[in-house]
Structure 1
């Protein structure tokens, strides 16, 4: 083992179980897993082959965690998985603490039970720890973000002491990663889920099951799963049904042309500026042309995010630039619409029907709505940093059951959040907040069939309802 580990992160292969040495075309299952990892962005790979037992493995993990300067991923050497499943865990840009989760398969000897709520693991099990109301299973892969490495080291050392004293029962090195996940969750570390979806990730117990698991991998088209994952499943109605079904067919061609997400964002901005220019002419043909160009600009805006997710080329800077571009495009179109209305209405001087007042009011309302959203997100983060939010109590690793967990309150907000995805109520909730897709449709349709004044009045009316809905929702969320 090296004295220091790279800032890009480290992957630890725990090849300490008999199954890790099962044969396959690449040699052993551990060899196969190492070959897969070599195809992913470079990280230092540490193969742990110690035969000192569970306690020795845990102490080695603790030592690695204490010297690492980037996220540390822990993978059993007997893991048989799609390469895309490994990428879901290892290539997320947040580089935070997360675990591979199968929401479809039932728990078993090598798939401990989990309880997942809101994309986070709230309870994790092992042969010693039970999980009432489990709704998912742990698929074997765990990553600890750099901020949580100290907790990982402490948990590993505590578990090593418990294992040596026999207080965890007859646990074996097969459960090393399972126990570490239990420890992180019970220590209050927020562990996010890396969902497998249709991908496979299993830990065979014998040669026959290993051969079957490897053969089963061919049943899934990994690139198609990657493509499907690039299209967001929680977008608004307009985006989900009238934009994404078209742009998903452009993802692979854009990737083949080596277009970057930022390049697509730039083209989207240019097309929006052209839409604003057409809107500024004010005639009916120009308004229709501007509406079509604005729709195209939004489609390209969706494509840049989809391309970023497909290539895993998203960065905080890119996300910020995309958000700023959205605001610029929308406000440029407001100016174009107002100027076009003024150009086609001779009365009223330079402000017929108060069109510029309406345009400025629409801009201000959008600014207020975004302030509500980002100020709330920032306040939640600040509260978490200063301890103003109630922390999850740390639970003993010797507590075998999670039965005493307090059930969450079933307030109106939680009930609303459990509305079935795809139902009419679900889409109504998504539309009422006037997301960017619905705003694009509102602007394009009203401008094409009517005029800028109708567009601004519609934006102000719907926007006011959306702002009130957001404000009430933030207040309810804060009160829970």
Structure 2
């Protein structure tokens, strides 16, 4: 049954600590594994730690989680007491200001009894496994920490109760209390809840069953520099080709200086906008030198656009205002540069091209964001086309893409195919490079024609992809 250990009023995430297996009582330098992880959680922004002790098996444990989920008023994290992890790994979920639904995942796809397989796609877990549930084409493993956002707590409670009933009646095979959190992840994924995959990178998060395994896991923690990993993970891992190789390779060295100067991500966004406006002014001069300087300033503006996100991830100072301002700033900067290029050109038809490029970009953003919003709304409302739920009684997860969509997903697993898929949609990094290079070495007409040609292909690709996904 749950026992409250610690309460803080200033945060919105509470923790359910499953001390339902004997491994939680294994010894370590901090006392027991339960003592160790409780101490780690006390250093993180959690409002309450509730320990679930053995009380009737897996079914009872899951009903305890359901009871807590129904009365909680903020995000709830569920994790086992037999977990040996870096504090920084726990912080990837518990310190994230969004308090959204997510799970700790390792890209080491070697599955085992204490590290069930998952399939990660687009930063989300799209299939999760247990001893009963099979994951086709698993590409990662779940590492025991699950956080559920406030909007999904009702779903968590329903899933926990359903799983408890299935476990008590033996319909899930010989599952045990060890798999409680694994089964909850399976249930959330199969019910259509979007679960963010929080990748631990080189950090450790391992569940153990015996004293030797516990000693080995604790000793392995010292092999990793958590501060260095925090800096490395501040750089977006799944960014575009240009951002990855032409910006993030050196912008990472600006993160710590920016933090020491106490710059906020919003302040960096503001500086980025100022540089883009300067770029537009130089583009409007209409000279070769002006276009070269404008291209350089526009590139530096994009560097700062990447840096504001990296600084936000490093300092974990995300905010709805910051996310909105960053998105609006991207649009404003790009359109300001369009205006500058048009003003600096003597081509009589340049304004028609500038307006066409602006409209095309607006349409592309509409395709992208309206689709994502519609899918999210449909999932919340329970619409069948949003993301159909999959039965927990089905051992195999049959949701596998076929046809052209399946081919595209398989192509994306190869390095060349991955970058091709990234570049074809003309993301902001590639648009920045395209604008800067064509404006610096040619003229505004070439810039707008390039944007229209590549952007048109990108729009058709996006639209076709959305239609095929909707037809699944």
8 Å Cα contact 2:79-2:181 kept in structure 1: yes
Say whether 1:402 aligns with 2:431.
Answer: no
State the alpha-carbon separation in 1 of the partners of residues 301 and 438 from structure 2. 17
CA shift for structure 1 position 478: 2.7
Kept after mapping to 2: 8 A contact 1:55/1:163 = yes
| CA apart distance, 1:415 | 1.0
C-alpha separation between the residues in 2 aligned to 1:440 and 1:37?
42
Of 77-86 and 369-378, the range deviating more from structure 2? 369-378
Deviations 1:297-333 (A, max 9, x none): 1111111111112222222321211111011111111
Q: Which residue of 1 aligns with 2:127?
A: 122
Partner of 2:310: 306
> Does 1:363 pair with 2:322?
no
* Aligned match for 1:372, one of 364, 367, 371: 367
**Partner SS, residue 10 of structure 1:** strand
Gapped runs of 5+ residues in structure 2?
none
Change (3 A) 1:285 1:169: closer
Distance 1:161 1:327, change over 3 A: closer
2:134 is aligned to 131
Q: Distance in 1 between matches of 2:46 and 2:247?
A: 35
**Mapped partners of 2:187, 2:449: distance in 1:** 55
Question: Structure 1 unaligned runs (5+)?
Answer: 343-351
Residue equivalent to 2:441: 449
Matches within 5 A, 1:143-222: 143-161=147-165, 172-222=176-226
Which residue, out of 232, 239, 251, partners 1:235?
A: 239
Is residue 16–residue 173 contact of structure 1 (8 Å, CA) maintained in 2?
yes
- The aligned counterpart of 2:335 is 331
Secondary structure of the residue aligned to 1:40 is coil
- Local SS of the residue matching 1:367: helix
Shift of 1:152: 2.7
Partner of 1:349: none
2:460 is aligned to 468
CA RMSD of aligned residues (A): 2.8
Name the TM-score, length of structure 1 as normaliser. Answer: 0.87
Q: 1:172 to 1:470 in 2, by over 3 A?
A: closer
Once the two structures are superposed, the pairs formed by residues 423-462 of structure 1 within 5 Å of their partners are: 423-462=415-454
Give the CA deviation at 1:469: 2.7
CA distance in 1, matches of 2:127, 2:22: 31
For the residue of structure 2 that corresponds to 1:219, the secondary structure is coil
TM-score, length of structure 2 as denominator length: 0.88
Deviations 1:89-144 (A, max 9, x none): 32344433333233415333333344555532424213xx2426362433221222
Q: How many residues of Structure 1 are paired with residues of Structure 2 in the alignment?
A: 464
Q: Which has the larger radius of gyration?
A: 1
Q: Is 254-263 or 44-53 further displaced after alignment?
A: 44-53
Equivalent residue for 1:321, pick from 318, 322, 325: 325
CA contact (8 A) 2:21 2:54 kept: no
**Residue number among 10, 13, 21 corresponding to 1:9 in the alignment:** 13
The partner residue of 1:100 within 92, 97, 104 is 104
1:250-399 superposed matches below 5 A: 250-342=254-346, 352-384=347-379, 385=381, 387-389=383-385, 391-396=387-392, 399=393
Contact 2:357 2:451 in 1 (8 A): yes
